[in-house]
Structure 1
Amino acid sequence: MKAKGLRPAAVAAIGVVAVVAGAVSAPPAVAAAKPKAKVYKGTAAMTVKQYDYCGGPWGAERRYLGQATYKLPATLTVSPTQKAGRQSEKNPFHFSLTAGAARTNGSVMLYSSVVLPVSPVDLAGHPRDPRLLLRYWKYTRKKSGAFSGKLADTHKSQAAVLNTFNAATLAFACRPSMGYGLVTPRTINAGAKISGKITAGKAQVTVTGGTYDGFFSFRLDFKKK
């Protein structure tokens, strides 16, 4: 798939995606039933801007390199909020959104929260829940199905980054015309915004943000087929 607006050597492809999970209680003497997640298959229209830090009179200022647009197959999954012990996601629903193949040039992965396994005892030797809930996005929803919020925490300091944007690294710093090297995941910076509307049969989501390293900014528009 070719990008529009940049020389082939000057930009990397881009993508985005989505997934979700949850659980509910069941009546006494009945096995707990997991509700089915709602999956929306669609297309993500991506607009990506690329930068480096080779501008200005001293060659150290942020410099705009160009823009590319892409249309990628994407999946949005919505389910009940996640829980771990006494911890709760505290969002109206749990979501994941992905576009493009994982770990390929330009792919994006978004997750509202995750439950991670941890030691069943704390540093003092006291027993604790062996599950840890990490919340990434915070958002609210109206009765109409419209929702909006932001990426509140990347959990980068805990080495638990899940919301990522994959792009190729410049083969030579400050020389985009000389091509790109390996595709590496980049942390989506805190403050990224999300909005949209999700109903029983329709889903539309817009995400705007940038990477922690400052080399990319993007706008993602997801629509169910």
Structure 2
Amino acid sequence: MSRKARKRGSAAAVSVTAVLGAVIPAGPATGAQSALQIYRGTATVVVDSYDYCGGPLSGEHRFIGTSRYRMAAKFITGPPKSAAGRVERNPFYWEFYVGNIGAVGSFQFGSAHVVTASARDLGGNVRDPNLLLGYWVTGRSGTSWSGKLVDSHRAEGATFNHFYGEKTIVPCRNLGTSPFLYAVNAGATVSGRVSSGSAAFTIRGSTYGDNYRFRITFG
């Protein structure tokens, strides 16, 4: 991943531009799965990074550089997810992946997720083993599509919308970095167009801790 520093204090953004290929049906499955569609393309990514090592006491938020790279991208749509009588608040279920998930620089987004195992949230409360977690709320008029990430579900320990970035081994010291998973903050937005044959949209937002801010354009 190449990095090119820019003037500190500039607006932070991640920009992803993908060229779509054909829409590929998910296969010969029946029922709800038969409505799945996959849009594939190549993403060009620009990432602005921040840390908290600015100022005389090394505690101020500061811009540290920009990375640019290209990765494969995939957008998947299907019927809205449901569980225990609840249905996600989107016209269709969707997932969006950039790169090989888990590799530094990759992204993953998803509109909703069904938890199928018992667990406890970050407050120690028992979590429903058949729980629908809605992350995004979107709407569609014709082919126009837009919405917002309304809940990251960090409280339940069940984040799904992620950026796979890096974290310094020792804060504010040049001793190397290690891969680190960053949850996308609530408030991220998506807007664009989705049809049976094509998809083009932009996602804007930031990661928890404000180490990365991003804009992703697909299509």
Where does residue 123 of structure 2 map in the other structure? none
Where does residue 56 of structure 2 map in the other structure? 57
Give the superposition deviation at 1:170: 1.5
CA distance in 1, matches of 2:16, 2:104: 7
Where does residue 161 of structure 1 map in the other structure? 159
CA distance in 2, matches of 1:180, 1:113: 35
* Aligned 1:102-121 pairs, distance under 5 A: 102-118=101-117
The residue identity in structure 2 corresponding to 1:149 is G
1:149/1:194 contact within 8 Å kept: yes
* Aligned 1:74-153 pairs, distance under 5 A: 74-118=73-117, 131-143=130-142, 145-153=143-151
Deviations 1:31-90, CA, capped at 9 Å, x for gaps = 956323110001223221111111123321101111122221100000110111310012
The residue identity in structure 2 corresponding to 1:158 is E
Unaligned runs of 5+ in 2: 7-14, 18-29, 119-127
Alignment match of 2:169 (pick from 168, 171, 178): 171
CA distance in 1, matches of 2:134, 2:102: 23
Q: Which has the higher strand share?
A: 2
The residue identity in structure 1 corresponding to 2:95 is S
> Aligned to 1:59, what secondary structure does the other structure show?
coil
CA distance in 2, matches of 1:179, 1:130: 42
1:15/1:105 contact within 8 Å kept: no
| CA separation of 1:103 and 1:90: change in aligned 2, threshold 3 A | same
The residue identity in structure 1 corresponding to 2:209 is D
2:91/2:140 contact within 8 Å kept: yes
CA distance in 1, matches of 2:4, 2:62: 17
Highest CA radius of gyration, 1 or 2? 1
| CA separation of 1:183 and 1:4: change in aligned 2, threshold 3 A | closer
Where does residue 185 of structure 2 map in the other structure? 189
Moved over 6 A (4+): none
* Aligned 1:1-20 pairs, distance under 5 A: 2-3=1-2, 5-6=4-5
Where does residue 73 of structure 1 map in the other structure? 72
> Aligned to 2:155, what secondary structure does the other structure show?
helix
| CA separation of 1:198 and 1:179: change in aligned 2, threshold 3 A | farther
Unaligned runs of 5+ in 1: 8-13, 17-30, 120-128
TM-score by length of 1: 0.77
TM-score by length of 2: 0.79
CA distance in 2, matches of 1:187, 1:131: 23
1:166/1:184 contact within 8 Å kept: yes
> Aligned to 1:35, what secondary structure does the other structure show?
helix
The residue identity in structure 1 corresponding to 2:36 is A
Q: Say how many residue pairs are matched.
A: 191
CA distance in 2, matches of 1:85, 1:59: 49
The residue identity in structure 2 corresponding to 1:38 is Q
> Aligned to 1:34, what secondary structure does the other structure show?
helix
1:15/1:108 contact within 8 Å kept: no
1:80/1:93 contact within 8 Å kept: yes
